């Protein structure tokens, strides 16, 4: 019985290991610089079908087409910026994982810092008020005596 | 008393934003192509492989470019509406058959009716990329000067047709 289970386990493990190697054939690209550029860009570009994945992560057909498109542009010697501009012209800024700083995205970029400043200011005011509230009140003689008594117990 | 209300107010503002968020559709990515010239292409026609179609042929007309595929389920939802629209002769509909197989495409049109004046075959999806297509069906309203006036993302619905597309086409035709 145990032996059987072990066999199944080993079979499963082997199958899993095989499937890890079963990736889709990528077009051969002998230019390492181009391939490096494609890799770099495809981690910065969004797959529009599966919106929380980059082109590099996604297996959607469109993502693979777009990677291929990027590869062709890279082969032609286009720069990162030119390739991103090409895709932004077609799909909009949403295709970029890192949105550019413009008037419509100012809140996105600066909002967290603004909140930090507002929160810090609020905290500062609060602490100052608390300090003012707890002004030093000297102990009366009677109180001092009681404290001593307690401490000496 | 007044101070105690502050967290409540912040809470209500956040709830307001989240509630609004429920009705936003993240799949609708506004197209940067609206207001820009429709990208040019020249593709083989589905009905006649040796003839080609190019958007230049449609200058001086308001027309619809509808991307579709026989493998696309949502395209089948909008298909009856397209057929009706084509029957009314209100606006020419050009199909962009996206990453499809010609036999399958032709078979579907034979079965369900053909609303398209012309079908261009975009077998590898290259023209689709130029148009910023990221999921079929998508439909573009293109004006007489060849500018994209509107993009419908996803299937055309009765409401979209009545409230947006038809009034827009009428307005563009009058120009």
Min Cα–Cα distance to chain B from A145, Å? 40
pLDDT for position A16: 57
Residue B87 lies in a domain: yes
- Classify residue B112: in a domain, yes or no: yes
Q: Hey, is B98 helix, strand or coil?
A: strand
- Helices marked H in A76-105: 80-91
CATH code for the structural domain at A29-100: 1.10.8.640
> Residues of chain B with pLDDT > 70: what percent?
99
Decide if B159 is inside a domain. Answer: yes
Report residues of chain B scoring pLDDT below 50: none
Residues whose CB is less than 8 angstroms from the CB of residue B117 and which lie 6 or more positions away in sequence, other chains included:
B86, B92, B93, B94
Position A113 scores a pLDDT of 95
3-state secondary structure at position B131: coil
> Domain count of chain B?
1
Which residues of chain A does B27 touch, with a Cβ-Cβ cutoff of 8 Å? 51
CB contact under 8 A, B132 and A92: yes
Which two structure tokens, joined as six digits, stand for B170? 């009428």
Please check whether residue B91 lies inside any domain of the structure: yes
Q: How far apart are the first and last CA of chain B?
A: 61
Q: What pTM value is reported for the model?
A: 0.73
A95-139 pLDDT per residue, tens: 898 888 888 888 889 999 999 999 999 999 999 988 887 767 778
pLDDT in the model for residue B49: 83
Residue ranges, chain A, pLDDT below 70: 1-6, 8-30, 135
CATH number for the domain spanning B121: value is: 3.40.30.10
- Domain that residue B61 falls in: 35-174
Residue B7 lies in a domain: no
B4 assigned to some structural domain? no
Residue B131 touches partner A, C-beta closer than 8 Å: yes
């Amino acid at each position: 019985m145990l032996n059987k289970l072990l066999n199944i386990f080993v079979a499963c493990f082997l199958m899993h290991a095989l499937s890890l190697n079963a990736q889709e054939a990528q077009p051969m690209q002998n230019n390492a610089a181009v391939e490096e550029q494609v890799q770099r860009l495809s981690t910065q570009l969004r797959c529009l079908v599966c919106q929380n994945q980059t082109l590099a992560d996604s297996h959607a057909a469109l993502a693979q087409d777009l990677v291929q498109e990027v590869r062709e542009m890279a082969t032609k010697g286009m720069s990162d910026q030119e390739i991103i501009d090409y895709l932004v012209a077609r799909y909009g800024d949403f295709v970029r994982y890192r949105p550019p700083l413009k008037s419509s995205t100012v809140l996105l970029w600066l909002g967290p810092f603004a909140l930090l400043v507002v929160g810090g200011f609020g905290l500062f005011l609060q602490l100052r008020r608390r300090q003012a509230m707890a002004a030093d009140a000297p102990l009366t003689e009677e109180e001092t005596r009681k404290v001593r008594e307690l401490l000496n117990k | 008393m007044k101070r105690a209300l502050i967290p409540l107010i912040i809470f209500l503002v956040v709830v307001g934003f989240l509630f609004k968020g429920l009705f936003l559709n993240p799949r609708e990515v506004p197209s940067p192509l609206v207001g820009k010239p429709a990208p040019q292409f020249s593709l083989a026609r589905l009905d006649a492989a040796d003839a080609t179609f190019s958007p230049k042929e449609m200058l001086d007309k308001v027309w619809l470019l509808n991307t579709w595929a026989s493998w696309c389920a949502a395209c089948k939802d909008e298909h009856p509406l397209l057929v009706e629209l084509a029957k009314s002769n209100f606006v020419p509909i050009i199909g962009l058959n996206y990453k499809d197989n010609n036999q399958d495409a032709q078979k579907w049109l034979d079965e369900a009716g053909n609303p398209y004046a012309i079908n261009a075959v975009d077998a590898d999806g290259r023209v689709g990329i130029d148009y910023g297509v990221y999921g079929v069906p998508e439909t573009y309203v293109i004006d007489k000067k060849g500018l994209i006036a509107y993009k419908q993302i996803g299937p055309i619905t009765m409401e979209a047709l009545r409230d947006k597309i038809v009034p827009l086409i009428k307005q563009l035709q009058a120009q």
